[in-house]
Amino acid sequence: MKKINKFYFGEEEVSKEQKVRLVNDVFDSVSKKYDLMNDILSFGTHRIWKDILINMIISMKSSNKNFSYLDLACGTGDIAYKLLKKNSKKIDVFMMDINDQMILQAKQRKEHKKYIGNLCLAVSDAENIPLVSKSMDCITIAFGIRNVASVDVALKEIYRVLKYGGKFLCLEFSQIELSGMDRFYEFYSKNIIPELGNIIADDRGSYKYLIESIKNFPKQDEFSDMINNAGFTNTKYKNLSGGIAAIHSAWKI
Ligand SMILES: C[S@@+](CC[C@H](N)C(=O)[O-])C[C@H]1O[C@@H](n2cnc3c(N)ncnc32)[C@H](O)[C@@H]1O
């Protein structure tokens, strides 16, 4: 992993402001084809990973108490909408993303109308969450944290907004820990993904950035340390598909 007090857009060192703007440009560009590309590039596997995350959220919920839940970097809303589809009783869902085009895509999905009574969507930065302290039972961020300029600042914000007894769950691409798979994955991500990005979305650059951002993200244990440094306890991770992705979980106690 590169130095965390520096800001990188892919391989390039940039200022914090440049990183925020360049990442925003990427998601402006991919927003309309984001869901389709996710299915193609992951062969649908991202759905299985997301279902695992959603089951972890549901396991925290009790049937007779109100549950407040925030999905940060919600993108087009996959996690929050899937959760509501499985269990929409006594739950208030907040969906936030820094990119207005991704929020627009989330609002245009049919689930938005269906679950409007449970939902609040906002354009906002994970580094400055517009919610009062100790207000959420659970906060998730899926494939979002590696795009945030200051991961440490976002983790501290997440900690601030969680209630005591609340849980943080982070689904993110990670480092393969299964020998033999790494060479295939490296070839696929370096050569195939940007090419598919070019052919299907006419956007090689954005998909090249996505791959470089995965490569530069901290390994499972390093990221656990960063979560602990933000104040969390009982931090654990579960590898998915040999470590292609991982879910980190941590408590505010
Ligand atoms: C790869 S998408 C993930 C979307 C969704 N969570 C999913 O799993 O499909 C990453 C998202 O992170 C958002 N993002 C990047 N930086 C952010 C920040 N500082 N605060 C909030 N969202 C951010 C992007 O706009 C984008 O929608």
Portion of the chain with pLDDT greater than 90, in percent: 69
For 111, residues 6+ apart whose C-beta sits below 8 A from its C-beta are 77, 81, 84, 85
Separation between Cα atoms, residue 200 and residue 221, nearest integer Å: 35
pLDDT at position 92: 96
Q: Are 197 and 203 in contact (CB under 8 A)?
A: yes
Query: How many structural domains are present in the chain?
Result: 1
Nearest CA, atom 10, ligand 1 = 144
pLDDT digits (tens, 9 = 90+) for 19-47: 999 999 999 988 888 888 888 888 889 99
**Does residue 46 belong to any structural domain of this protein?**
yes
Whole-structure pTM value: 0.94
Domain enclosing residue 36, as ranges: 7-252
pLDDT digits (tens, 9 = 90+) for 125-143: 999 999 999 999 999 999 9
Q: Would the CB of 99 count as within 6 Å of ligand 1?
A: yes
Q: Measure 234 CA to ligand 1 centroid, in angstroms.
A: 25
pLDDT above 60 for 2: no
Instruction: Give the range among 18-27, 52-61, 183-192 with minimum mean pLDDT.
Output: 183-192
**Does residue 60 belong to any structural domain of this protein?**
yes
| Per-residue pLDDT band at 200 (split at 50, 70, 90) | confident
Rounded mean pLDDT, 3-26: 86
Q: Measure 180 CA to ligand 1 centroid, in angstroms.
A: 30
Separation between Cα atoms, residue 230 and residue 162, nearest integer Å: 12
pLDDT above 70 for 239: yes
pLDDT at position 5: 65
Q: Would the CB of 29 count as within 6 Å of ligand 1?
A: no
Q: Are 227 and 168 in contact (CB under 8 A)?
A: yes
Q: Measure 228 CA to ligand 1 centroid, in angstroms.
A: 22
For 36, residues 6+ apart whose C-beta sits below 8 A from its C-beta are 200
| Per-residue pLDDT band at 162 (split at 50, 70, 90) | very high
Half-sphere exposure for 216 (CA within 13 Å, toward CB)? 23
**Does residue 160 belong to any structural domain of this protein?**
yes
Return the ligand 1 atom nearest residue 210 CA. Answer: 1
Q: For the chain, what is the mean pLDDT?
A: 92
Rounded mean pLDDT, 66-70: 96
**Does residue 203 belong to any structural domain of this protein?**
yes
pLDDT above 60 for 4: no
Tokens (6 digits) for 15: 């200022």
Nearest CA, atom 5, ligand 1 = 75
Strands (E), the chain: 7-9, 12-14, 67-72, 91-97, 119-123, 136-142, 162-173, 233-240, 245-252
**Does residue 228 belong to any structural domain of this protein?**
yes
pLDDT above 70 for 78: yes
pLDDT at position 60: 93
- The per-residue b/e assignment along 121-149, b for 16 or more CB within 10 angstroms, e otherwise, is beebbbbebebeeebbbbbbbbbbbbbbb
Q: Would the CB of 126 count as within 6 Å of ligand 1?
A: yes
Portion of the chain with pLDDT greater than 70, in percent: 98
**Does residue 1 belong to any structural domain of this protein?**
no
CATH number (domain holding residue 32): 3.40.50.150
**Does residue 2 belong to any structural domain of this protein?**
no
pLDDT at position 226: 98
pLDDT at position 69: 97
Looking at per-residue pLDDT, the higher value among 187 and 219 belongs to 219
Residue positions counted in the chain: 253
**Does residue 26 belong to any structural domain of this protein?**
yes
pLDDT at position 232: 98
Output the CA–CA distances (angstroms, integers) from residue 9 to 1, 21, 39, 171, 200, in the order listed: 13, 10, 24, 20, 23
